[in-house]
Chains A and B, each alone.
Chain A
């Protein structure tokens, strides 16, 4: 009767439960795909509607969903969060923490050297700039989602505000990039506060939906306010950045001519690379510092327990607003960079997909972790390029990779939180204890 009850408290793992999960998912797939795949319609030769059925394909899709959901369920149970951590022996874990300590500096040094190593590979440089842009966006959104625990699905709005601020100020008034950059950040932060006010009372799903709507509103305003934004045609001829007034072009005033070296278009790419690297590192530095200041601790406390915050006399309204504004400001900086790099922007660059991608980076990175977000941006944007050869299957493979990673590490790549202050020894806090916030 009193048999030792060792780890036998698993969720229902029986075959009936598995079959039930698989069956429910298969039914959902059947409903979804019956019209999308099962029936194919086309305009016939005389313009009439012709259609034919593809039940074979439909059946194989449904079967794949059925089998796939059972496999995922099994994976979840075998190498799930509880299993995975126990499977890793302590020696390997301490080895991993050793890697963790030196990974960030090593990555930084490597990043600094990228333009030197890959000087002649334009494709890699462009990709690196793209990755760094997303690292910066990820770090910016991390303030809102990772630290303050406010789920923001409309982050792209601030990216757009920053980009259009620079584009319009530069094309209309001819202001230089270095004046417009802080302005773009301030304007984005201002919009962050404007968004913050109405959503402060909302939590969780409601907050997510309202921020999502806000992102769409900004995009629709950009499309429809033709006189200011140029509507769907966007803004073109945005000035390229200059090195404190010295343009990076092939003219006599250009940097190459001044330095007396031969002009190469790569100069500008390298300059853009270091520009976004500097902006990203600024974001990182400010965030790390803010975390150790009372405001940063209040953000994290807000994520942990809002009621307790209020009982301690913390004004949760202004605390949330500052988180929104700070995140938005970094988004605005990144937007200004995007505009100067592209030379042309249109509302198409600021769709919900961008918000979702940046949010995915933050979640995959491990909410709140700076290193994790950087790694996630690298693997998401870089991985996306890696799979380019797979063409149509790219999204599928990519989606699978995401699902597998989230099964393996449900709390993200870096699954622990570093304390902001300590008496004797800073100990990493397991992510099981860290709350995700509820909006």
Chain B
């Protein structure tokens, strides 16, 4: 790891009563890079996300976000909505959380709430319909339209989000997160439930977000084809601790990782690998 860091997780620990979901976890995510967080089921990946985005208060440790201008924010001290609003961290959920009874476009408008609130003079100016607010709303619709094009949902803009197919809902959730114009985008298993073609499209979308917009991405994913193809750096967790990290190549060949995934111990995994090569 040499580049500029956007996120530093330092000795993060999260306990639920007797369960230690995450223990002394330290890793970093680089700016304008895709960092993947992988590990078997129950490894504690979603818990790490919930700590970063403020849905859980960590039992211990520090999470530091560094903005472009050098401003540092201690995420473990902020509330969930402040992390999204001030620290500019956006996230998606493992079980999609859209606003199903609102249209696709409305979902993307809600994402621009804080910008529109300011433009509407905290509702009072908007109520009388000042031109400045109408301009802001138009810009918001333009941004939403732009994202609908990127995730190829433009023709579904006026449909209820709950009526979209599963894969479309996943992409809409990413578009909604991006409409908050985040510095760091956290995606919890975006490829879950997608078919091969949709997964490939997703990889392309994430690469374009990184390359064209320069947004840093933190990615939890079980689909190894996606992870290996697009990640710049991979952190592997098992039972709440980090067991390996490195480039896709390094991680793929790490016996500890293979052991964790196969549920076997290290020697066995080594044996499997050696016999394979």
A interface residue numbers (CB < 8 A to B): 286, 289-290, 293-295, 297-298, 300-301, 303-305, 307-316, 322, 417, 419-427, 429-431, 433-435
Interface segment, B67-75, B113-121, B255-263? B113-121
> Known contacts being A308-B97, A429-B101, A429-B160, is A289 close to B127, with CB within 8 Å?
yes
Residues on A with C-beta less than 8 A from B176 are 312
Residues on B with C-beta less than 8 A from A308 are 93, 97-99
Q: Are B123 and A311 in contact (CB under 8 A)?
A: no
CB of B110 within 8 Å of the partner chain: yes
Assembled-state Cα–Cα distance A317/B116 (Å): 18
> Known contacts being A286-B127, A310-B84, A311-B93, is A423 close to B100, with CB within 8 Å?
no
Q: Are B100 and A435 in contact (CB under 8 A)?
A: yes
CB of B80 within 8 Å of the partner chain: yes
Q: Are B162 and A433 in contact (CB under 8 A)?
A: yes
Residues on B with C-beta less than 8 A from A431 are 101
* B interface residues, how many (CB within 8 angstroms): 45
Out of A301, A423, A434, name the residue touching B145 (CB < 8 Å): A423
B interface residue numbers (CB < 8 A to A): 53, 55, 80-85, 90-91, 93, 97-103, 105-106, 109-114, 116-117, 120, 123, 126-127, 137, 141, 145, 154, 157-160, 162-163, 176-177, 180
> Known contacts being A289-B127, A293-B126, A422-B158, is A301 close to B102, with CB within 8 Å?
yes
- For A436, give the chain B residue with the smallest CB separation: B101
What distance in Å separates the Cβ of A58 from its nearest Cβ neighbour in chain B?
46
Q: Are A316 and B160 in contact (CB under 8 A)?
A: no
What distance in Å separates the Cβ of A174 from its nearest Cβ neighbour in chain B?
31
Q: Are A315 and B81 in contact (CB under 8 A)?
A: yes
Assembled-state Cα–Cα distance A427/B155 (Å): 13
Can you name 8 A-B pairs with beta carbons within 8 Å?
A293-B120, A294-B117, A297-B106, A307-B93, A310-B80, A311-B90, A316-B81, A421-B137
Q: Are B110 and A417 in contact (CB under 8 A)?
A: no
Q: Are A419 and B102 in contact (CB under 8 A)?
A: yes
> Known contacts being A294-B117, A313-B81, A430-B160, is A300 close to B127, with CB within 8 Å?
no
> Known contacts being A313-B81, A421-B106, A425-B158, is A433 close to B113, with CB within 8 Å?
no
Residues on B with C-beta less than 8 A from A293 are 116, 120, 123, 126-127
Give the 8 A-B residue pairs with the shortest CB-CB distance, closest first: A434-B101, A313-B84, A313-B85, A304-B99, A433-B162, A294-B116, A308-B97, A423-B157
> Known contacts being A304-B100, A422-B103, is A311 close to B80, with CB within 8 Å?
yes
> Known contacts being A311-B90, A422-B157, A427-B158, is A297 close to B80, with CB within 8 Å?
no
- For B53, give the chain A residue with the smallest CB separation: A311
Across chains A and B, the number of contacting residue pairs, with CB separation under 8 Å, is 140
- For B107, give the chain A residue with the smallest CB separation: A301
> Known contacts being A297-B106, A421-B105, A423-B141, is A312 close to B157, with CB within 8 Å?
no
Residues on A with C-beta less than 8 A from B98 are 304-305, 308
What distance in Å separates the Cβ of B85 from its nearest Cβ neighbour in chain A?
4
Q: Are B103 and A313 in contact (CB under 8 A)?
A: no
Residues on A with C-beta less than 8 A from B112 are 294
- For B156, give the chain A residue with the smallest CB separation: A423
> Known contacts being A290-B127, A419-B102, A429-B101, is A309 close to B141, with CB within 8 Å?
no
Assembled-state Cα–Cα distance A178/B35 (Å): 62
> Known contacts being A294-B117, A297-B110, A433-B162, is A423 close to B105, with CB within 8 Å?
yes
Residues on B with C-beta less than 8 A from A433 are 100-101, 160, 162-163
Q: Are B123 and A295 in contact (CB under 8 A)?
A: yes
What distance in Å separates the Cβ of A297 from its nearest Cβ neighbour in chain B?
5
Assembled-state Cα–Cα distance A330/B239 (Å): 54
Residues on B with C-beta less than 8 A from A420 are 106, 109
- For B84, give the chain A residue with the smallest CB separation: A313
Out of A298, A429, A430, name the residue touching B113 (CB < 8 Å): A298
Residues on A with C-beta less than 8 A from B100 are 304, 433-435
Q: Are B106 and A312 in contact (CB under 8 A)?
A: no
Residues on B with C-beta less than 8 A from A311 are 53, 55, 80-81, 84, 90-91, 93, 97, 177
Q: Which of A309, A312, A430: most chain B Cβ within 10 A?
A: A312
Q: Are B97 and A305 in contact (CB under 8 A)?
A: yes
Q: Are A304 and B93 in contact (CB under 8 A)?
A: no
Q: Which of A289, A310, A313: most chain B Cβ within 10 A?
A: A313
Residues on A with C-beta less than 8 A from B114 are 313-314
Q: Are B103 and A310 in contact (CB under 8 A)?
A: no
Q: Are A419 and B53 in contact (CB under 8 A)?
A: no
Q: Are A417 and B105 in contact (CB under 8 A)?
A: no
Q: Are B99 and A300 in contact (CB under 8 A)?
A: yes
Assembled-state Cα–Cα distance A313/B78 (Å): 12
Q: Which of A303, A305, A421: most chain B Cβ within 10 A?
A: A421
- For B79, give the chain A residue with the smallest CB separation: A310
Assembled-state Cα–Cα distance A431/B123 (Å): 27
- For B111, give the chain A residue with the smallest CB separation: A312
Residues on B with C-beta less than 8 A from A430 are 160
Assembled-state Cα–Cα distance A152/B162 (Å): 27
